[in-house]
């Protein structure tokens, strides 16, 4: 398969996998999907954080505006790095707001056939956006003292990159990260679902697009490519100071490699991070075949929110 075609297949598969993830809504999930209403608070949409057309965020402000400080939860949208919008997570963000958090959905520049957007550039946009989100919340009377960052699929990857790579520079302490099925690392041997473990050329092509840098087949062969993909490999940034973490992955994922999630699990274990890792043995990217485990994952998300980002009066 030509390298360019392989990259296109990957991007389409990644975006398509997101559709399966969000097309199925089990009954228990309704507890975490709250329709927005003005009774929940105030919703500010399309606030700017940069000059790019996609550099917009939505801010969900809880009805109780009397507290001295608030916790912020940023939730980043899915879409295979090529599609999606912050509005797609409105019910999740509304649920977070209903719990008393300031919640934010952030758009980022999507990869298209006519631009050079990459996971690296998207992660840098999120880094640029977070201070603007916190500044806007404070101006509206909601000062932020702690935050969590989360997301699904591509958004989960970006959330982990921010939490582990950029959390030390965040304008408010990152005390939690959570999400599902986001690629956590880019190691050739883990990406056999797209045949990258069999082709240095294909691996160099795809990883170069994802990392926003030129990678040669020779660099893949000698292993030096790892430094070039480190900026987008969240697992490589985990330290003993990393935020507590709750994640879920399907062992039959054909969109992002399950093996990469094991590198994340190992990094969290070796660094003594407080984490919960949910392995769904019958599911792919949609996590649709292990409802009981998926429900446990969401229960732990709520428990970790209550523990590390408690809503205080």
| Res 312 pLDDT > 90 | no
pLDDT at residue number 5: 45
Mean of pLDDT values over 291-309: 97
Q: With 0-12 CB in 10 A as exposed, 13-18 as middle and 19+ as buried, what is 171?
A: middle
pLDDT of residue 30: 81
Higher pLDDT pick, 86 / 114: 86
Asked if 261 and 273 count as a contact pair (C-beta separation under 8 A), the reply is no
Supply the pLDDT for residue 6. 52
List CB contacts of 117: < 8 A, sequence separation 6 or more.
Answer: 81, 109, 110, 111
Q: Are strands 144-152 and 102-106 parallel, antiparallel or unpaired?
A: unpaired
pLDDT in tens, 250-293: 999 999 999 999 999 999 999 999 999 999 999 999 999 999 99
CA gap 257, 249 in Å, rounded: 9
Which residue has tokens 């970790």?
A: 304
Q: What are phi and psi for residue 245, nearest 5 degrees?
A: -140, 140
The answer to whether the beta carbons of residues 20 and 78 sit under 8 Å apart is no
Token representation of residue 81: 């790095």
HEC states along the chain?
CCHHHHHHHHHHHHHHHHHHHHHCCCHHHHHHCCCCCCCCEEEEEEEECCCCCCCEEEEEEECCCCCCCEEEEEEECCCCCCCCCHHHHHHHHHHHHHCCCEEEEECCCCCCCCCCCCHHHHHHHHHHHHHHHHHHHHHCCCCEEEEEEEEECHHHHHHHHHHHHHHHHCCCCEEEEEEECCCCCCCHHHCHHHCHHHCHHHHHHHHHHHHCCCCCHHHHHHCCHHHHHHHHCHHHHCCCCCCCEEEEEECCCECCEHHHHHHHHHHHHHCCCCEEEEEECCCCCCCCCCHHHHHHHHHHHHHHHHHHCCCCC
Burial (0-12, 13-18, 19+ Cβ within 10 Å), 193: middle
The predicted structure's pLDDT at residue 310: 97
Region 218-236: mean pLDDT is 98
Mean pLDDT of 199-208: 97
Whether 149 and 76 have beta carbons less than 8 Å apart is answered as: yes
- Predicted pLDDT at 197: 96
Give CA–CA dist 152/79, Å, rounded. 9
pLDDT digits (tens, 9 = 90+) for 150-172: 999 999 999 999 999 999 999 99
> Which residues, in sequence order, are CB contacts of 228 under 8 Å at separation 6+?
207, 208, 211, 213, 215, 219
Q: Measure the CA–CA gap between 89 and 151, rounded to whole angstroms.
A: 9
User: How many angstroms separate the CA atoms of 105 and 56, rounded?
Assistant: 9
pLDDT tens-digit series, residues 10-57 = 555 555 544 444 444 667 788 899 999 999 999 999 999 999 999 999
Please say if the pLDDT value at position 234 is more than 90: yes
Whole-angstrom CA distances from 290 to 176, 282, 284 are 24, 6, 10
Mean pLDDT of the chain: 93
pLDDT of residue 1: 44
Residue-wise pLDDT for 68-77, tens only, equals 999 999 999 9
């Amino acid at each position: 398969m030509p390298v360019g075609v392989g990259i296109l297949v990957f991007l389409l598969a990644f975006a398509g996998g997101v559709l399966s993830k969000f097309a199925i809504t089990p009954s228990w999930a309704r507890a975490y999907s709250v329709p927005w209403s003005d009774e929940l608070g105030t919703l500010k949409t399309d606030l700017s954080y940069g000059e790019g057309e996609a550099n917009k965020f939505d801010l969900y402000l809880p009805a109780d505006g009397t507290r001295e400080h608030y916790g912020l939860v940023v939730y980043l949208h899915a879409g295979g790095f090529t599609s999606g919008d912050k509005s797609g997570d409105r019910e999740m963000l509304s649920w977070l707001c209903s719990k008393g958090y300031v919640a934010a959905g952030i758009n980022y520049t999507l990869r298209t056939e006519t631009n050079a957007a990459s996971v690296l550039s998207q992660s840098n946009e999120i880094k640029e956006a977070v201070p603007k989100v916190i500044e806007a919340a404070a101006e509206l009377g909601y000062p932020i003292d702690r935050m969590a960052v989360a997301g699904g699929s591509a958004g989960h990857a970006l959330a982990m990159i921010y939490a582990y790579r950029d959390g030390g520079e965040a304008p408010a302490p990152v005390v939690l990260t959570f999400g599902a099925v986001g690629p956590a690392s880019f190691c050739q041997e883990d990406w056999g679902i797209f045949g990258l473990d069999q082709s240095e050329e294909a691996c160099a092509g795809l990883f170069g697009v994802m990392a926003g840098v030129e990678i040669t087949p020779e660099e893949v062969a000698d292993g030096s490519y790892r430094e070039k993909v480190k900026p987008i490999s969240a697992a490589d940034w985990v330290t003993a100071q990393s935020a507590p973490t709750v994640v879920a992955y399907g062992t039959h994922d054909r969109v992002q490699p399950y093996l990469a999630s094991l590198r994340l699990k190992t990094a969290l274990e070796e660094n003594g991070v407080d984490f919960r890792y949910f392995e769904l043995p019958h599911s792919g990217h949609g996590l649709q075949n292990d409802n009981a485990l998926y429900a446990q994952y969401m229960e732990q998300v709520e428990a970790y929110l209550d523990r590390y980002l408690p809503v205080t009066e």
